[in-house]
Amino acid sequence: MAKAYSADMRQRVIDRVESGASRREAAEHYEVSPSTAVIWVKCFRETGRFAAKPRGGSTSPLEKHADFLLALIEAEPDLTLDEVVCAMRKQKIRGSRTAVWRFFQRHKITFKKKPVRDRAAACGRRASTPMLDARTRPVRSGPVGLHRRECAAEHGKSST
């Protein structure tokens, strides 16, 4: 994004217009666009202000609750983002998972933990937790360890 013109430049253009020059003449003299000079003069006449409007984003509504959120993570560092959002809702604090993530990112706090997911066990490894083993089911309907071609050959079918 382009940088704003200085307050001094704005004041010179406005002073030239106030001393009798047209907005287009003042713009041409100071090498700014005519529409810019028109906007500056209009703003000056309405508000009496030379300076540019403040730039930048707004502050997060979660910043009001920073003490609560930081204390929550300090007390229980293993919380996931979803658990933080649930704790916020219990305290009647509004906010989304994304807003919480951005809040903690600004405060240099990271979340590397992931909740248990519904995923299949890796081949050749020992059995995982019983909770995951109970949810897994066989992928093939045929005997374990045989390829499709071998199954087809047992039944006298071609494998094409």
Structure confidence by residue, pLDDT tens digits, 65-106: 999 999 998 998 888 889 999 999 999 999 899 999 999 998
Q: Is residue 141 part of a domain?
A: no
Q: Is residue 143 part of a domain?
A: no
In this predicted structure, which of 2-16, 51-65, 100-114, 121-135 has the lowest mean pLDDT? 121-135
Cβ-count burial 103-130 (b if 16+ within 10 Å, e if not): bbeeeeeebeeeeeeeeeeeeeeeeeee
Domain count across the chain: 2
Whether 71 and 102 share a structural domain: yes
Rounded Cα–Cα distance for residues 133 and 127 (Å): 7
Domain that holds residue 33: 7-47
Task: Using the Cα atoms of residue 36, residue 39, residue 43 and residue 46 in order, give the sign of their dihedral.
Answer: positive
Q: Is residue 54 part of a domain?
A: no
Whether 41 and 66 share a structural domain: no
Tokens of 63: 């910043």
Q: Is residue 148 part of a domain?
A: no
Whether 42 and 66 share a structural domain: no
Q: Is residue 147 part of a domain?
A: no
Q: Reply yes or no on whether the pLDDT at 57 is more than 70.
A: yes
Is residue 66 within 8 Å of residue 107, measured between CB atoms?
A: yes
Element (H, E) at 44: helix 34-47
Q: Is residue 90 part of a domain?
A: yes
Q: Is residue 129 part of a domain?
A: no
Q: Is residue 18 part of a domain?
A: yes
- The count of other CB atoms within 10 Å of the CB of residue 56 is 5
pLDDT tier for residue 109 given thresholds of 50, 70 and 90: confident
pTM above 0.85, yes or no: no
